[in-house]
Amino acid sequence: MKADLLVEGSFDNAIQGVDGVFHTASPVSVPYDDNVEKTLIDPSVKGTLNVLNSCKKATKLKRLVLTSSCSSIRYRDDAQQVSPLNESHWSDLQYCQRYNLWYPYAKTIAEKEAWRVAKECGIDLVVVNPSFVLGPLLAPQPTSTLLIILAIVKGCIYCPYKAGVLGEYPNKRLGFVHIEDVVTAHILVMEEQKASGRYICSNSVQHMSQIIDMLRTKYPSYPFENKCSSQEGEDMPHSMDTSKITELGLPPLKTLTQMFDDCIKSFQKKGFL
């Protein structure tokens, strides 16, 4: 069965008759191209609304689980002051525009629109907000986000704000989470009847310089860059409160070391390193 995020009604047949829907698809588009409206924002927002509209027509649907992101939570001027950030916090769209952070901009709008439609139509919506997802490759080619890690290890860092490659690593501070924990979280919030609202799924927050130091110690043969990008807007100190998903029953999250080990070993096994 084929479906297109930008085609209204495209998911009607797929959703009709099911008890639950996971909407996980969203473009990341790294590095950003010159038409973020078409390649990133529209597919994210319109795609989410198209899935919601198909859910409205489904007669047996009990719950929709949407994959959002911590990117819809952490981009705000007061992130450090209000930390630990929790599910009540939202990214500031003006902040995202100021620093050309179009992925969090799109994710924030898409999630807010999902909540609006779900409330209007009585859809039981639960949202998982994972941070930067790591772990072994599940597809033949690395995802857009894993390409960032691959570039870091190879010493040729992608700049997510313009086409091309820079000889520096991103000036970015963010949380990380293992793909297996994200999958477990999605299944948990789908099956647990008392699940409601948003759920942050994230391990420790680290600056990319800390990640590179950790990886350089363990994998000294790779040509990691020493220079940090001057890009602003993504390096704000903050922390994330994961108590809500833990209290719902999510097992302890995998460690930062395990996330990156699984990721890099997968790169090696598939011939990318």
The residues annotated as belonging to the active site are: 107
β-sheet bridge partners, residue 22: 65
Distance CA 272, CA 186 (A): 29
Q: 254 and 178 in contact (C-beta within 8 Å)? A: yes
β-sheet bridge partners, residue 198: 127
Give φ, ψ of 176 to 5 degrees. Answer: -130, 155
Distance CA 256, CA 208 (A): 12
Q: 17 and 60 in contact (C-beta within 8 Å)? A: yes
Cis ω on the peptide bond leading into residue 104 (within 30° of 0)?
Answer: no
Q: 50 and 5 in contact (C-beta within 8 Å)? A: yes
